[in-house]
Amino acid sequence: MIIAAVIGSSQSVINAASTQFTEDILIKLRTMSKKIKDCLAPLVAIIFSIAALLLAIYSDSIVNNIILAYTLFTAGMFIPIIIAFFSSNPEKYSKIAFPVSIIGILISLIFELKLITIEIPSIIISILLSLLIFFIYGIVVSNKRLHKKTFINYNIHER
């Protein structure tokens, strides 16, 4: 009974991950025919399954893997989720959500793999750096809009 629940749960996670990866990342990066789209999700699911199997075989502890997965997920998704919940216009920040997530995950992974060691927990550093990237993006986009509006207003008043 327990094995059936674990297999069902694992299958659901792999299916959800492969569908999200296919729909949200691969298809948005390039246009594809319906036939290719239909073949892509099962192929990604097979790749994710093999990766999960190799991770399970070569890891020391499944608990450590779960902790690592939650750490990476939190590092990558905390800032975009907070922005989506508390922003009056979350669609305005949709272009930066993916890069902020990737940056958070990569920074956390660097610290979790002990490529860089520091006393502060990796999740705190990755969230802070993701927030910094978000603010830099906000400043750059605001300056571009301000410059564009100033240029447009200048041209209107010139005539």
Residues 55-106: tens digit of each pLDDT: 878 888 878 888 888 888 888 888 888 888 888 877 777 777 878 888 888 8
Say if residues 13 and 48 touch (Cβ distance below 8 Å).
no
Residue (of 121, 130, 125) closest to 93 by Cα position? 130
Hey, CA dihedral for 111, 112, 114, 117, is it positive or negative? Answer: positive
What pLDDT digit, counting tens, does each position of 99-143 carry? 888 888 888 888 888 888 888 888 888 889 888 988 888 777 766
Domain map (residue ranges) of the chain: 1-58, 61-159
pLDDT at 4: 64
Kindly give, in sequence order, each residue whose CB lies less than 8 Å from that of residue 97, ignoring residues fewer than 6 positions away.
80, 83, 84
Element spanning 87, H or E: none
pTM: 0.63
